[in-house]
Amino acid sequence: MILRRTLLIASTAIAAAASMVSMSAAGRSRASASPLPADLHLAPARTQLGALRRRAITSRALLEQYLQHIAKTNPGLNAVITLDRDAAREAADEADHHMARTGQPLGPLHGLPVTIKDALETKGLRSTCGSPELSAHVPEQDADAVARLRAAGAIIVGKTNVPVLCQDLQTSNPVFGRTKNPYDDTKTPGGSSGGAAAAVATGMTSLELGSDLAGSLRLPAAYCGVYALRPSGGVVPTRGHIPRPPGWLSSSDMLALGPLARNADDLDVLLDVLAAPAPAEAAAWRIDLPGPKHARLTDYRVGMWPDDPYCPVDANIRDLLEQVGEVLRSVGSTVDDTARPVQLPDSDRLFQRLLFATASATATDGGFADDIAAADEIPADDPRGLFLHSRTMRHRDWLRANEEREKLRRQWDGYFATHDVLITPAVPCTAVEDQTSVPVPDRFITVDGKKRPYFDQTAWLNLAGHVRLPAVVMPAGKTDDGLPIALQIIGPYLADRTVIDIARQLARRLPEPVQPPALAL
């Protein structure tokens, strides 16, 4: 059941309507100078924001376009799982009244309808993180990042689907069911931001706020043919993300919140709003991310890591990375495809240890005691014990693992002293079969016709996560059967705008990404 916020009292609604009627003549002429574009909701966010600021369209009219498109498109995908129509209309009307009254936008996202991943708490709107235990959870406070979107003038339309507590690489849960890939309903959209990526890909939102711990933002972007940015660690406040449990003030040291969009420019739009210190720290300092390292693609020093025996990629991915290298060389960029910042197996193992450790924070006392007992039965050097020994490690062991992480960060720093970015595969293959009904130990992916472990899906994405590096996933071209192909761009710490810029410049020179049927109008 979709929960709705309380409507404004009648007198407020009447006053709001009167305010619209009394819009100035100049304002009316600007808003009605040309017919309202019937498909503006499918345009980039920058285009929509420009139209809203010029008053070529009202926020309410744009919202209604979105609601109609969601009603038509979502039933076949199940990406948007909670709609907040009444509150969204109320907020859109208020944005329009403000513009009519002052001639000024509320903020950089003035009047723009957006959706939010259901892992992020939204005040007054059901926020379940796909968990039956939270099916009736209605927060009294926004997550910090959601509050920033509202303060910037965004209109929160609804929430997008996730796996239970974001703990899967595909998107399905007992509360809302399964989200389908917009290109092939037998495939997964990925997880845990699967609903978010599917919604962006099909035009149900132009921007989405998602989260990334073990590729949860970038994996769905790769499978759904959209852009995603995992920002540098600490750039976007994370309080209010589930898990941790509702009400917790802390979150995982490996979690990042970031934008999903249909082009690189729109990643910048949302990054501008999200990049900020946590509210408790905002009085003392601010975040001012540097601009792109260079103005021209030819000036970039680019590392290429197209494949690795630890996590082989299929022919479609290799062909795309080869094409990227050719494009870079053709424009005069410096390309190095031999140097490696780290060893992929060592980096991935450390990532897993730290991931399993941070996930233990929310284990029940009884469950954690069982984990300790089970870990005692498995030797430390047994590969089967990696999960249990990492999850139950002593604080001393975590401190040493964290020191290993800092050494790994130093290795990356050394690499980026001579390279501006590193381009890698995003995933080892394109969107995999949905395996919701298959037990996790029996799941697999297929790379060049060979079965590979299920969690190999994130091995390339894991390169950036634990070392706090910014990483963009971008689509380019498609397979013979119409699935999106993607690559990943990793940059130095705080070089978020550089990785976005590389994606922007490559997009002009690589094959156009495929569009799902919902956008092929």
Q: How confident is the model at residue 21 (pLDDT cuts 50, 70, 90)?
A: very low
Which numeric CATH code is attached to 301-507? 3.90.1300.10
pLDDT of residue 514: 85
pLDDT of residue 34: 46
Rounded to whole angstroms, the Cα distance separating 496 from 490 reads 9
Please give the share of the chain, as a percent, with pLDDT higher than 90: 88
Mean pLDDT of 195-200: 98
Residues carrying CATH 3.90.1300.10, the chain: 57-279, 301-507
Mean pLDDT of 335-348: 98
Give yes or no for residue 73 having a pLDDT over 70.
yes
pLDDT of residue 31: 38
Tell me the pLDDT of the chain averaged across its residues.
Answer: 92
Rounded to whole angstroms, the Cα distance separating 379 from 392 reads 13
Place of tokens 């997880």: 191
Work out the number of other CB atoms within 10 angstroms of the CB of residue 319: 15
What is the pTM (predicted TM-score) of this model?
Answer: 0.92
Q: Report pLDDT digits (tens) over 256-273.
A: 999 999 999 999 999 999
HSE at residue 50, side-chain half, CA atoms within 13 A, is: 7
pLDDT of residue 520: 59
411 burial level (CB within 10 Å; 0-12, 13-18, 19+): middle
H or E, element range at 335: strand 334-336
Structural domain 57-279, CATH architecture: Alpha-Beta Complex (3.90)
Mean pLDDT of 164-173: 97
Q: Report pLDDT digits (tens) over 436-452.
A: 999 999 999 999 999 99
For the chain, the distance separating the N- and C-terminal CA atoms, rounded to the nearest angstrom, is 31
pLDDT of residue 28: 35
Mean pLDDT of 510-518: 84
Mean pLDDT of 128-133: 98
H or E, element range at 473: strand 471-478
Mean pLDDT of 214-222: 97
Q: Report pLDDT digits (tens) over 352-410.
A: 999 999 999 988 899 999 999 999 999 877 877 899 999 999 999 999 999 999 999 99
Give yes or no for residue 79 having a pLDDT over 90.
yes
Residue type, 426: A
Q: Which residue has the higher pLDDT, 227 or 13?
A: 227
Rounded to whole angstroms, the Cα distance separating 342 from 145 reads 32
Place of tokens 């898990």: 243
Give yes or no for residue 304 having a pLDDT over 50.
yes
Q: How distant, in Å, are the alpha carbons of 2, 116, 185, 481 from that of 81?
A: 8, 10, 17, 28
